[in-house]
Amino acid sequence: MYSVSVRDHMMIAHSFRGEVFGPAQRLHGATYVVDLEFRRAALDPDGLVVDIGLAASALRATLEPLNYRNLDDLPEFAGRNTTTEFLARAIFDRMVARIAAGELGPDARAGGLASLRVVLHESHVAWAAYEGPLSGAVATALPGSRLA
């Protein structure tokens, strides 16, 4: 399996509900380093897993609506604890919609990419990830899916 990764970051504020979170129940900030790893079994006709420039642009566009925001104020996260694990899945879903929309090129959209792994690094000692296959996910991404 071949892979290509791109990296960016975002700075957010949020709070959690539940005693398990201790002092993190209060509003606090986090800076995440975000890694996307695209995988495929065979290279595309150009010898690529995915165009790195397109992948980096799509990641930046995906993170932009979250960057420097209080996630508690966003309607799409209402009533949810925006844990690192939860955010990894949310970014995965938004990237799937971008792939389905063709933002990473026609070969990525046509099922060339096998899977995607999203890793959010909270610090140098703690991170969380979500990964999943793309063949079915891209095919079932709803037209008009929210990209931001």
Contact between 88 and 127 (Cβ < 8 Å):
no
Q: Which residues, 6+ apart, have CB-to-CB distance to 2 below 8 Å?
A: 39, 40, 41, 42, 43, 49
- Whether 148 shows a pLDDT value over 80: the answer reads no
In a domain, 104, yes or no: yes
CATH number, residue 125: 3.30.479.10
- Whether 147 shows a pLDDT value over 80: the answer reads no
In a domain, 146, yes or no: no
What's 41's DSSP letter? S
Contact between 12 and 30 (Cβ < 8 Å):
yes
Encode pLDDT of 10-50 as tens digits: 999 999 999 999 999 999 999 999 999 999 999 999 999 99
In a domain, 110, yes or no: yes
In a domain, 148, yes or no: no
In a domain, 147, yes or no: no
Encode pLDDT of 90-128 as tens digits: 999 999 999 999 999 888 887 789 999 999 999 999 999
In a domain, 95, yes or no: yes
Residue 97 DSSP SS3: helix
pLDDT number for residue 40? 95
Encode pLDDT of 56-96 as tens digits: 999 999 999 999 999 999 999 999 999 999 999 999 999 99
- Whether 141 shows a pLDDT value over 80: the answer reads no
